């Protein structure tokens, strides 16, 4: 979440006239994340999140994102529910951007997850995969393996200040060659979150109270979603891999949805691929920083270290199983 587009008081007043969520009491920008502009709305009826979808979000994908949140919420999963306006639509326009008002969920994210948090994550992720299994809209993964080399080449073209070291270029080129030549072709697929970092899940009283930010969600390998979470949750600040966290995550997931042997065999490669994906998107954002944004892009260096770790993994036992 972040703020790239500012919304005038007049635009806010006009927006709330479209909804039955009370009178606006306050509006505060949320300076987190990198994709969309987000605001915390406090009205006489409670709290809501206003999201303005920025240029990097394809407007054609919005029915998938909004529909998925609605589907998950309808089936009892801890997804925020999009709020429909008086004409029955969840999508609108604010300040020249597509926009939506989303239900506010109680709870808080954790900056330093414990092994118990990782267990709750694994359980919740498996439930999400099962709950979304009958969602009828399809969306390919726009940041899947086929997008990585073009993204790397774009970063190289834009690197006018020479921020990418030559050794780093060679390392990523080698990783891409490995992934492109060995990427699995027949693993269980379904709807995945694809971006379930610690700031996208809320905890309350030792349970998961909310999973948010579905704007990278897509159809892809379910085990790739696990790989994303192993990268995002199971490394410490010094770059070391916490095998206890990984074991808790994988074991809790497997108690809800059985992880097939083919998925376990592919996990080291999927984890390296997920690390390459986040390295590349961070690298691109680091080189192409947006002026005026209230959030600074994250350094890609963290994910270069994770790529190296996964490259050296031989079996799933190195992840705690």
pLDDT at 288: 85
Tokens of residue 283, six digits: 């690298």
Nearest one of 135, 133, 122, 134 to 256, comparing CA atoms = 122
The upper half-sphere exposure of residue 101, i.e. CA atoms within 13 Å in the direction of its Cβ, equals 26
Q: Which domains does the chain show, CATH number per domain? A: 9-103 (3.30.200.20), 115-319 (3.90.1200.10)
Whole-angstrom distance, CA of residue 48 vs CA of residue 101: 7
Q: Which of 125-129, 230-234, 287-291, 296-300 has the lowest mean pLDDT?
A: 287-291
Mean pLDDT of 286-314: 83
| Whole-number pLDDT of residue 294 | 53
Assess whether pLDDT exceeds 60 at residue 1. no
- Written as six digits, the tokens of 218 are 């897509």
The tens digit of pLDDT for each residue in 134-166 reads 999 999 999 999 999 999 999 999 987 788 899
What pLDDT score was predicted for residue 291?
A: 63
Instruction: Give the residue, 2 or 55, on which the prediction is more confident.
Output: 55
Least confident range of 46-50, 130-134, 139-143, 297-301:
297-301
206 dihedral zone (left: phi>0; alpha: psi -120 to 50; beta):
left
Between the two ends of the chain, the Cα-to-Cα distance in Å is 34
Confirm if 95 and 8 have CB atoms less than 8 A apart: yes
247-285 pLDDT tens trace = 999 999 999 999 999 999 999 999 999 999 999 999 998
| % of the chain surpassing 70 pLDDT | 96
In this predicted structure, the answer to whether residue 295 has a pLDDT above a threshold of 90 is no
Mean per-residue pLDDT for 160-179?
92
Over residues 92-100, the mean pLDDT reads: 92
**Whole-angstrom distance, CA of residue 115 vs CA of residue 121:** 10
Cα separations in angstroms, 205 against 185, 202, 210, 276: 40, 10, 12, 35
Which comes out higher in pLDDT, residue 75 or 289?
Answer: 75
The answer to whether the Cα torsion of 255, 256, 261, 265 is positive or negative is: negative
Question: Above 80 in pLDDT, residue 316?
Answer: yes
Question: What gap in Å lies between CA 242 and CA 191, rounded to an integer?
Answer: 27
Mean predicted confidence (pLDDT) in 209-228: 97
């Amino acid at each position: 979440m972040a703020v790239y587009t500012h919304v005038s008081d007049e635009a806010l007043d006009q927006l709330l006239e479209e909804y039955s969520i009370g009178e606006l009491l306050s509006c505060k920008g949320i300076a987190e994340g990198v994709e969309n502009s987000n605001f915390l709305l406090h009205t006489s009826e409670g709290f809501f999140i206003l999201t303005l979808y920025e240029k990097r979000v394809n407007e054609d994908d919005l029915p998938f994102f909004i529909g998925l949140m609605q589907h998950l919420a309808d089936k009892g999963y801890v997804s925020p529910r999009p709020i429909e306006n008086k004409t029955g639509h969840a999508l609108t326009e604010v300040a020249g951007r597509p926009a939506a008002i989303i239900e506010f969920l109680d709870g808080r994210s954790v900056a330093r997850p414990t092994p118990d948090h990782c267990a709750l994550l694994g359980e919740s992720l498996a439930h999400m995969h099962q709950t979304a299994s009958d969602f009828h809209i399809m969306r390919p993964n726009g940041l899947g393996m086929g997008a990585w080399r073009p993204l790397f080449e774009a970063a190289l073209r834009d690197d006018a200040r020479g921020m990418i070291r030559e050794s780093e270029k060679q390392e990523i080129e080698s990783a891409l060659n490995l992934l492109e030549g060995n990427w699995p072709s027949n693993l269980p697929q379904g709807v995945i979150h694809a971006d379930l970092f610690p700031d996208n899940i809320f905890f309350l009283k030792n349970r998961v109270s909310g999973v948010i930010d579905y704007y990278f969600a897509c159809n892809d390998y379910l085990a790739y979603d696990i790989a994303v979470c192993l990268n995002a949750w199971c490394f410490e600040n010094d770059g070391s891999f916490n095998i206890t966290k990984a074991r808790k995550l994988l074991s809790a997931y497997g108690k809800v949805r059985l992880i097939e042997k083919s998925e376990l065999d592919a996990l080291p490669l999927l984890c390296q691929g997920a690390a390459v994906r986040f390295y590349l998107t961070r690298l691109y954002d680091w080189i192409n920083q947006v002026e005026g944004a209230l959030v600074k892009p994250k350094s890609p260096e963290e994910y270069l270290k994770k790529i190296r770790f996964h490259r050296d993994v031989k079996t799933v036992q190195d992840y705690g199983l």
